[in-house]
Amino acid sequence: MGFSQVAVLASAQTELRPAWRDAQHIDLISSVVTNVFKGTGLSIDDVDFVIDSGSDVLDGRSISNCGFLGALGAHHKEEARVEEDGLWGALYGVNKIRSRSSSIGLIVAYSKPSESNIDLYWSAMVEPFYQRPVGFGQKAALGIQAQRYLAAHGIKDDALAEIVARRWADAAVGGKVAMGEAPDAAAVLAGTEAAWPLTDLMISRPLDGAVAVLIGSEDVARRTGRPPVFITGMGTSMETHALAERTANKLDSVANATRMALGKAGWSSGAEADVVELSGSSVVGELMALEGMGIAAEGHGADVATSDKVNRSGGALPADPIMATGLIRLAEAAKKLSAPVAAGASAPSKAIVHGTGGVAMQTNCVFTLEV
């Protein structure tokens, strides 16, 4: 086990919905911040600092966290905003606790993409002189990435559809994602074209929702009522902004982030994990992330994508509350590790968690968890 000073103590999330039309950001945030303490014996008064992740562009106001401080429980506390997925917020929080300047941190991430135009959000992220005028954005980037990957490895779109259908079926079982009937592989293939060769359902589905994760020092973790889930390794890495300059058909930054995390954890490979929770912006992005984490060989992500240890929460394809998706992966993985062991059954003891951000998964973050 690597550095073991910080543990996930608890988490709470709202249902993830296409649109939370009857709730503001503050309603979603205050809901998870209130619920995260249940069963921990801790309260907001015990929290040393609050770190929140959200997007000013999606929220429609600058420095939007200033308006959400009350809901975050951050009144007169140390508070910081991370304008990246909440998994980076957790990374910040873990390091604060490891530095021994604090012992309990509250990490919150939220998103309401239903309130804005998601294509404009992505368009605002690309270069304005050369890329925006020609219509380049997230969909186009994911489409080109997928086209090249499928061509390089001779993978067909029906294999992708099977993976997508599995994710939706798992999300339906989890019960935290608002959906109608989960689409089967045929429905995935029959969907409208989002960015050839990807259909709509092969790209992650933006949803509204919020998540809160409570983290604490080992000392605190040993005293709370649940088995502590320790964060034993963390790593981040970022690709160049220029899509065409990135290494084709793989995500070097996932591999780099994984190497960093595993080095701390003392694992030899991401494949040691019993639980894998990852955030693919597209189904092909998931495969490339699996390969980057060392769970599958290059070009073989599809061979392990439907294994019983990968994204049993459903992952980002059926539910991508942008900025909260990676932190939800952390919450889901920690829950799987902390669940009591049924008599005689073997329980998972290691998890690897992945979050991503940017156009075509430009930036990536990896955590290892252990009990």
Partner 1 sequence: MFYAPDTAPIDLPTFKSTISLPYTLTPGKAAGTFLAEMPNRRIVASRFADGSVIAPAQDFSPKDGEEPVELVQAPETGELTGFTRVDGVVLGLVKLDGCRNAFVHRILADMADVKVGQRVAAQWSASDEGTSILAIEGFVIAADAPVGEVKPLVGPAEPLGVINYGMALHYDHAYGPYYGRMFDELKENGVVMGVRGSNADEALLPPREIDDITHKRTGTWKACADTGTIRACSLINMEVYGQTRPVPYAYAEIVLDGASTKMIHIIEIDDLEVAKQQIKPGTRVRAVWTKGERKGAVSDIERFEVIEG
146 sits near partner 1 (criterion: CB under 8 A): yes
Q: How many residues bind partner 1 (CB under 8 A)?
A: 64
Token couple for 204: 């992650």
Contact 211, 8 (CB under 8 A): no
8 sits near partner 1 (criterion: CB under 8 A): no
Q: How far is the CB of 10 from partner 1 (least distance, A)?
A: 14
Cβ distance to partner 1 smaller for residue 135 or 263: 135
298 φ, ψ (degrees, to nearest 5) = -55, 130
| Options 30, 55, 224, 237; binder of partner 1; rule CB under 8 A | 30
24 sits near partner 1 (criterion: CB under 8 A): yes
28 sits near partner 1 (criterion: CB under 8 A): yes
Give first-to-last CA distance, the chain, whole Å: 9
Cβ distance to partner 1 smaller for residue 28 or 229: 28
31 sits near partner 1 (criterion: CB under 8 A): yes
* Element (DSSP H or E) covering residue 301: helix 301-304
14 sits near partner 1 (criterion: CB under 8 A): yes
Per this entry, what is the length of the chain? 371
The strand pair at 78-82 and 49-53 is best described as parallel
Single out the segment in contact with partner 1 by CB under 8 A; choices: 3-11, 143-151, 292-300, 331-339: 143-151
CA gyration radius, the chain: 19
Exposure on the CB side of residue 110, measured as CA atoms within 13 A: 30
Site residues for partner 1, 62-91, by CB under 8 A, read 69-71, 73, 75
Cβ distance to partner 1 smaller for residue 244 or 343: 244
Token couple for 193: 């074209």
Cβ distance to partner 1 smaller for residue 110 or 267: 110
**CB atoms closer than 10 angstroms to residue 117:** 11
> What strands, in cross-sheet order, belong to the sheet with 104-111?
78-82, 49-53, 104-111, 209-217, 6-13, 229-238, 363-370, 350-357, 275-277
Cβ distance to partner 1 smaller for residue 21 or 222: 21
User: What is residue 342's DSSP assignment?
Assistant: P
Fill in the per-residue mask, 112 to 141: x = in contact with partner 1 (CB under 8 A), - = not in contact. Answer: x-xxxx--x---x---xxxx-xxxxx-xx-
Contact 366, 234 (CB under 8 A): yes
Token couple for 215: 């983290």
Cβ distance to partner 1 smaller for residue 14 or 325: 14
User: What is residue 56's DSSP assignment?
Assistant: H
Q: What is the CA 173 to chain-centroid distance, rounded?
A: 19
Note the residues at the interface with partner 1 (CB under 8 A): 14-15, 17-24, 26-28, 30-31, 33-35, 44, 57, 60, 69-71, 73, 75, 112, 114-117, 120, 124, 128-131, 133-137, 139-140, 143-144, 146-148, 151, 178, 193-198, 240-245, 248
